[in-house]
Amino acid sequence: MLGITTLQQQRHYNGLTLTIFAMALHNDIRAASFSPPRIDFLFVLFSIYSIFLLHFHSNSFAFFHLLSNLPFFSFDLSDMTSNENAVGEKNRVPKLNERILSSLSRRSVAAHPWHDLEIGPDAPKIFNCVVEITKGSKVKYELDKKTGLIKVDRILYSSVVYPHNYGFIPRTLCEDNDPMDVLVLMQEPVLPGCFLRAKAIGLMPMIDQGEKDDKIIAVCADDPEYKHYNDIKELPPHRLSEIRRFFEDYKKNENKEVAVNDFLHSGVALEAIQYSMDLYAEYILHTLRR
């Protein structure tokens, strides 16, 4: 008869309603349209609804009619939706692409270590140094100036390794259009891409294939074993011989000629760093004018 369903039909209707309710609940949660307390509430409601439909063979209209007569479940669905939207706008978790774009706009990611990292308030004496090559490494890493990432340039052809951590000073510029190179003496190797505070103690004049390629010799300003050094003449002579021999030999098997001259004191190093800072500032001003 019209309007009368069998028990089997009622169970089928309840199962279908239950499935639709579960799918809607799943989609709402996945869309992050509900806060965690609301999710807990909906799961409790869903559990009660399941028991009511499957065990009492009633229908969904009777279920919501029953809830509306209970004082602690009395609510207006439209009010719940409007309140949820109001709270949701405040507590809404940004989607992944929104978080990435927001981070980029704040420049908290994708920073260029040469241009975005400050040289430090105590430069030229104490400055930030970005490590490119780890102490003891045979891998020649270097800064990719276009992306700001550290890339593998080559594996050294000679059977030598870098005697100390090697990198560059941010916001400096030399005649070879690269930032100022620096060799940092310290106890431990540092991973490529990290930066540390270094103190200049000298300069190693070097000619690489006919071009000037001087290196600042520095110590880690936060290493208790090295931070007390103020000038290169305080280092053991053998340590200086090791450094010099490395740079004389590390390109020999590539048939590239390198000449290393006598080490110079800390005053010359400070002048060289200051000059590279001024050259970088001129480059930035020239770029802005263009």
Count of alpha carbons within 13 Å of 37, Cβ hemisphere only? 5
Q: 60 by DSSP, 3-state: which?
A: helix
- Residue 56 main-chain phi, psi, to 5 deg: -105, 0
Token output for 164: 């100390």
Bridge partners of 151?
A: 142
Q: Where are the alpha helices (DSSP H) in 172-255?
A: 237-249
Q: Side chain identity at 242, as an amino acid letter?
A: E
Nearest to 273 by CA among 122, 139, 136, 150: 122
Q: Side chain identity at 78, as an amino acid letter?
A: S
Q: What is the DSSP letter of 93?
A: P
Q: Respond yes or no: is residue 141 known to be catalytic.
A: no
> Which of the following is catalytic: 141, 162, 229, 280?
162
Determine the Cα–Cα distance for residues 263 and 43; give it in Å rounded to an integer: 74
Residues noted as catalytic: 162
